[in-house]
Amino acid sequence: MTEFELRIITPERVVFSGPVTSLIAPGELGYLGVLAHHAPLITTLKNGRITVKHNEQEQHFTIASGILEVSSNLATILTEQLTTDRQAAETAEKE
């Protein structure tokens, strides 16, 4: 399957940077999907879950709103807050 580059960035660090085959993100009007060669797009994201797929494996992140830009086979998500499923599980274990 065709890939595109994805970057997920918070003020503290680059959380994810690499090739992916699909992205599902929580847009303001509902979830939206991005595949390789998607039309250029800039949209706001609401609180929700991001699903990133590559080589039949999925990674999940939870964001507290942000911005998604797609252009020239590169998708960039900027967000103030983000947790991975692993971080959420570790927090739940501590509680």
What does the DSSP assignment read for 31-81?
EEEE-TTPPPEEEEE-SEEEEEEETTEEEEEEESSEEEEEETTEEEEE-S-
> What number of residues does the chain have?
95
Domain 4-94 has CATH 2.60.15.10: yes
Taking the C-alpha atoms of residue 26 and residue 8, their distance in angstroms, rounded to an integer, is 14
Predicted pLDDT of residue 84? 84
Taking the C-alpha atoms of residue 74 and residue 6, their distance in angstroms, rounded to an integer, is 6
pTM above 0.85, yes or no: yes
DSSP 29: T
End-to-end CA distance of the chain: 41
pLDDT in tens, the chain (95 residues): 699 999 999 999 999 999 999 999 999 999 999 999 999 999 999 999 999 999 889 999 999 999 999 999 999 999 999 998 766 555 445 55
DSSP 73: T
